[in-house]
Amino acid sequence: MKRRANALLAIRHIHKEFSGVRVLNDINMDIQTGEVFGILGENGAGKSTLLKILCGIYTPTSGKIILKGNEVSIQTPMEAKKLGISMIPQEFNLIPTLSVFENIFLGSEIKRGVLLNKEEMRNKTRSLLEELKTDLSPDALIENLSVAEKQMVEIAKALVHESDILIMDEPTTVLTNLEVEILFELISRLKKKNVTMLFISHKLNEVKRLCDRILVLRDGDQICINEVKDVDEQDMVKKMVGRELSQVFPPKSSPGDEVVLGVENLSDATLLKDIHFHLKRGELLGFSGLIGAGRTELAECIMGLRPKTSGDIYVNGEKAQIRSSSDALAHKLGYLSEDRKGKGLLMNFGITENISLISLSKYNHWFINKKKEQQSSQKFIEQFNIKAASLTAELEYLSGGNQQKVYLSKWMDTDPAILILDEPTRGIDVNAKKEIYYFIHSLITQGVSCILISSELEEILGLCTRVLVMREGRITGEMEGRHINEEEIMFSAAGVL
């Protein structure tokens, strides 16, 4: 009660829905001046949504935000800045062709009359960067910076407004240890200046070290608020995860003995280091890890979509030279990208044309046999229960779940022996998820071997017979059968133990 009286920021009964799907459910918290407040939860728990509400990117469906005793309505990021709330976003919002100082002052340029006061902006930028112990030039172009340097610019951009509340959404994901230390030092200094900070991180040791209190979210529900000194990392994981697996998953089936895919010593130029694993016939192998751990990059390397610097790939025991997606296709490999709209489907094409795009040669003998092509997609529409107005309906008018089923059909039409599914249920509703789970199961029982890349632990646990965990481009954990457990996956993924 004492806390409540002088809370800097109070959140009351915040709900948020996206087109009918509830992502935040009755969130309540009070944050004190000068506090570092951690927000924990699995991917999709609603952490980023909550922070985006606070900095005006989203507006809540219902509920109140009370800042310094006054109820406020934050409609845009600009309003948030005026109220003294800045955010270091998870994804970069920098303009590559502009310089560091131009980005830092973007939208709040210092002017002398109608002209820009570039000298002053440069000077302020320089002193900010010095404070961050970064020897970046204010005039360096963003496009020439490394990912970590860009992150430092984002941090400087948030600091320039001298906000009361600073929101950080996984700021350390792309930083090296040294840079993380600099950032933490800065956080301590800001704390002494009574700046309040909200901090999202998957790295529990960071949370333990920096935060005063934590809020744990799970599936949009507020699980608890604790003093950090009262909980250890084990407790945090349990609170984040602690749920029973629901009955949406099909039974698991055991794989054959024959190894169909072997990857040895695979590395790429930027992230992947010495990847080594195998996949058996009819196996469903899970790949777990945090965003940016290199799982997608690995899949793209295997598919010949991304150059590898070393390592070999074996298909059915024989060394396979895969330099392009057509090579991969020739080896009966398939890959459903996590980026359905950007890399998977042609949104202004119809269902038939999308399904047959890879397997077109099946219907093509000098000319495309359009009748055969349509019959085949009709078959998939029935098999996957795809709901669409017609075969020619443009894909952008289909729901996410139906799009995903079209995408799955597209690869099934190539008759793959090995299928890599990258976040196959992202952004689709529970029912479609369940249908896809059962479909994957039927594939496995038919002897197709699958790799499932998923950030939803529940999915990995419910479906896979073996799990590999990746962190920072390496495989850091392997579990099989009944030894698969959530906590150990989290620890391997976050590098705690």
Q: Which residues bind other proteins (CB under 8 A)?
A: 305, 324-326, 328-329, 335, 337, 342-349, 353, 357-358, 360-361, 364, 366-368, 370, 410
Cβ 326 to other proteins shortest distance, Å: 4
Phi then psi for 420, rounded to 5 degrees? Answer: -100, 120
Name the region of 279 (left: φ>0; alpha: ψ -120 to 50; beta: rest).
beta
Residue closer to other proteins, measured from CB, 274 or 396: 396
**Beta bridge pairs of residue 450:** 284, 419
Cβ 355 to other proteins shortest distance, Å: 11
Query: Nearest to residue 240, comparing CAs of 45, 52, 430?
Result: 45
Are 292 and 493 in contact, with CB atoms under 8 Å apart? no
Kindly state the helix (H) or strand (E) to which residue 174 belongs, with its residue range: none
- Non-local (6+) Cβ contacts of 86 within 8 A are 55, 80, 158, 159, 161, 163, 165, 166, 167
Report how far residue 204's alpha carbon sits from residue 494's, in angstroms, rounded to the nearest whole number.
Answer: 7
- Non-local (6+) Cβ contacts of 320 within 8 A are 313, 314, 327, 331
Report how far residue 300's alpha carbon sits from residue 473's, in angstroms, rounded to the nearest whole number.
Answer: 13
Residue closer to other proteins, measured from CB, 172 or 337: 337
Residue closer to other proteins, measured from CB, 353 or 486: 353
Cβ 388 to other proteins shortest distance, Å: 17
Cβ 488 to other proteins shortest distance, Å: 33
CA 420 to each of CA 40, 124, 292, 433: distance values in angstroms, whole numbers, following the listed order: 29, 49, 17, 17
Residue closer to other proteins, measured from CB, 19 or 366: 366
Are 37 and 215 in contact, with CB atoms under 8 Å apart? yes
Cβ 377 to other proteins shortest distance, Å: 14
Cβ 407 to other proteins shortest distance, Å: 10
Cβ 466 to other proteins shortest distance, Å: 26
- Non-local (6+) Cβ contacts of 102 within 8 A are 95, 121
What's the gap between Cα 226 and its chain centre? 26
Residue closer to other proteins, measured from CB, 180 or 358: 358
Cβ 347 to other proteins shortest distance, Å: 8
Residue closer to other proteins, measured from CB, 161 or 343: 343
Residue closer to other proteins, measured from CB, 166 or 408: 408
The token pair that represents 313 in the structure block: 């790939």
Residue type, 116: L
Length of the chain: 497
Residue closer to other proteins, measured from CB, 20 or 366: 366
Residue closer to other proteins, measured from CB, 217 or 320: 320
What's the gap between Cα 449 and its chain centre? 25
Report how far residue 264's alpha carbon sits from residue 84's, in angstroms, rounded to the nearest whole number.
Answer: 51
Cβ 349 to other proteins shortest distance, Å: 6
Are 41 and 237 in contact, with CB atoms under 8 Å apart? no
Residue closer to other proteins, measured from CB, 325 or 485: 325
Cβ 357 to other proteins shortest distance, Å: 5
Query: Nearest to residue 186, comparing CAs of 240, 111, 130?
Result: 130
